[in-house]
Amino acid sequence: MIQRNLLFTMSIFVAIPSYAEDRSLATVPRVELDKYLGLWYEVARKPMYFQRECAKDVTARYTINEYGNVEVDNRCIDQQGNQLRSIGEGFVMNDPYNSKIKVSFLPEAVRWMPFGRGDYWILKIDPHYQMALVGEPKRKYLWILSRNPHPDENKVTEYLRYAQTLGFSVKDLIRSEQTEP
């Protein structure tokens, strides 16, 4: 299990280098981090190298760490029923708006270095912080997150359509299976 977790974490480091940003992607005007923190269920995602082992129950929990940054605790269950977990740290890049975050899954001792960080931009969020659309400027990665493991399909469709208006292809979208009731 430890070796699988290490491979999961290291694959994240390789998969999300920091690219030159395409500034034409609009984010939400402002995110209230205290409302955004907590547990989110992955509804759907574009294929990602570091999530290729995730078969179901993909979640992300966000908290504030001792340094005032966002701690990212990603979990999923693989095909064999093992839990995979990766802990990272998010650095807000546009304070006080909080809609652009750089996330690092490097070992904690070297996370302060500005390389190896991936873009995590909040593109759409409902007023009650129950559903979010997250992507990155190159439009290669995309997630739909929900506080509910089984959100309303009309709401999911609304977020998918919005992603398309931003230039994201959703043809290859992977729907996440959530076994929690």
| Structural contact between residues 143 and 42, judged by C-beta atoms closer than 8 angstroms | yes
Write the CA distances from 172 to 7, 67, 94, 175, integer angstroms.
24, 37, 30, 10
| Structural contact between residues 166 and 22, judged by C-beta atoms closer than 8 angstroms | no
Note the pLDDT of residue 6.
Answer: 39
Mean pLDDT by 10 residues, the chain (181 residues): 44 39 81 98 91 94 96 96 95 97 90 85 98 97 98 98 97 94 76
- Does residue 24 lie in a domain region? yes
Tally of domains in the chain: 1
- Does residue 180 lie in a domain region? no
**Structural domain for 151, as ranges:** 2-175
- Does residue 128 lie in a domain region? yes
SS3 36: helix
- Does residue 92 lie in a domain region? yes
Which CATH number goes with the domain that contains 57? 2.40.128.20
- Does residue 81 lie in a domain region? yes
- Does residue 181 lie in a domain region? no
